[in-house]
Structure 1
Amino acid sequence: MLKNLDTIHKDLFKDLEKSVVEHEKLLSRIDKGKNGVSDATSREQHHYILLKMETLTTNF
């Protein structure tokens, strides 16, 4: 079971890392004034990442 737990932890961390990179790209697009990108979208993504981080911290 501990081996599985380690794998789950790594997978969750990789997923969180991917989400952060995508969020940074979105922030860059907002900063550059790209069309079709809103501050609200960024805030939603940020909130989602925060929830994922809290889950990872709380459960591991």
Structure 2
Amino acid sequence: MRQSRFTEAQIIGMIKEQEAGMPTAEVCRRHGLSPASFYKFKAKYGGMHCTAGYRVAMSRE
């Protein structure tokens, strides 16, 4: 499986930027990803904190 360009912490940070009020298009433009990828990440990582993302990564290994 292909490895993501972004770490879980970066993805969670992007989601938090969008939830804080930044438009989705602006978040995507700043980080260089498509809106479809952003919403896929949001579905997977939305509502997590950085430590929760770390636990998910550790459970996969």
Q: Same fold (TM over 0.5)?
A: no
Larger radius of gyration: 1
Q: Higher helix proportion, which one?
A: 1
TM-score normalized with structure 2 length: 0.33
